[in-house]
Amino acid sequence: MDNTVRSYRGLEIYPLVYPHQPRGDDGSRHYDNGFDAAVRICRRGDDDTLTASRVFRVSSPVPFRAAGEARRASASYAERVIDGQIAGQSIVGL
């Protein structure tokens, strides 16, 4: 997966997408079982150093069918967290 960075309201958003099922004992991947997602929200200081970050898991009743779908859900979830629309999730302290 590429390291796509988005910016929203002065914060950086990093989608985190990973296979729903871990690698098998033989190292095989199970992409057909879907993907899970999380998002890392970061604040940078004036000198461009990372000052704070937090990871939020994107809750979904079933795995996302494709990596792109999970990535879009991560970005949307981050924006809703930043806007204060997700109960129990906050960027206070970032």
User: What are the extents of the domains in the chain?
Assistant: 6-82
pLDDT tens for residues 62-94?
999 999 999 999 999 999 999 999 999 989 887
Asked if residue 24 has pLDDT above 90, the reply is no
* Per-residue three-class SS string for the chain: CCCCCEEECCEEEEEEEEECCCCCCCCCCCHHHCEEEEEEEEEECCCCCEEEEEEEEECCCCCECCHHHHHHHHHHHHHHHHCCCCCCCCCCCC
What is the pTM (predicted TM-score) of this model? 0.83
Instruction: Give residue-wise pLDDT tens across range 37-67.
Output: 999 999 887 777 778 899 999 999 999 999 9
